[in-house]
């Protein structure tokens, strides 16, 4: 009998140790998963913040108020809710990385104007919007496959008609 009692104690001890290892592994997995979700949540909040900054900058008149490509420190293209087409043309003429530096964003961006029937082309069928080369309103998800993506809309008057200015900012 004494022999069986020891075997039973060994089985119970193995069961307790096995259960303990299992519980520790589950807790470690859960903690790692929660940490990953917190990091992703912080990154999304950061992308959303930068999208707001870029949208607000575009919605402003910029600095100096009559900026040119040589003098711009804060890029804005809207005055009294109306898009200044001269400033828009100057923005279009700038290199993408230069504009990112002026916007002070570490993320990629793209913006365009739209009405209910779809995007309004800035340059008659040549250029839909402004931002990262190769991106447009329909391919941003497939071309870029962004990890985090924020979309901000501001209402403006463009070419004498109400439009939505749609601003995308994303983390590649």
Check whether the bond before 136 is cis (ω within 30° of 0).
no
User: CB under 8 Å to 147, separation ≥6 — which residues?
Assistant: 43, 170, 171, 172
pLDDT at 16: 73
> CA 146 to CA 26: how far, in whole Å?
31
The pLDDT > 70 percentage for the chain reads 80
Which residues lie across from 164 on neighbouring strands? 114, 155
Spell out the domain ranges in the chain: 45-171
pLDDT at 127: 87
Q: Which tokens is 148 given? A: 């985090």
> CA 144 to CA 130: how far, in whole Å?
15
Q: Which tokens is 115 given? A: 């009405």
| pLDDT < 70 regions, the chain | 1-12, 15, 17, 20, 22-40
Contact 63, 74 (CB under 8 A): yes
pLDDT at 1: 47
**φ, ψ dihedrals at 118, nearest 5°:** 120, -175
**φ, ψ dihedrals at 97, nearest 5°:** -65, -30
């Amino acid at each position: 009998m004494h022999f069986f009692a020891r075997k039973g104690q060994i089985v119970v001890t193995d069961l307790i140790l096995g259960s303990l290892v299992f519980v520790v592994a589950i807790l470690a997995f859960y903690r790692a998963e929660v940490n990953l979700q917190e990091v992703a949540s912080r990154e999304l909040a950061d992308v959303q913040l930068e999208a707001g900054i870029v949208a607000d900058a575009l919605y402003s008149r910029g600095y100096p108020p009559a900026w040119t490509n040589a003098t711009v420190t804060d890029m804005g293209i809207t005055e009294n809710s109306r898009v200044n087409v001269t400033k828009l043309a100057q923005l279009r003429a700038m290199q993408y990385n230069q504009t990112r530096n002026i916007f002070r964003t570490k993320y990629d961006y793209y913006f365009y104007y739209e009405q209910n029937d779809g995007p309004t082309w800035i340059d008659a069928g040549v250029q839909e919007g402004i931002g990262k080369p190769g991106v447009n309103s329909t391919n941003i998800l497939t071309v870029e496959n962004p990890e985090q993506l924020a979309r901000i809309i501001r209402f403006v008057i463009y070419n004498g008609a109400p439009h939505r200015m749609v601003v995308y900012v994303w983390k590649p």
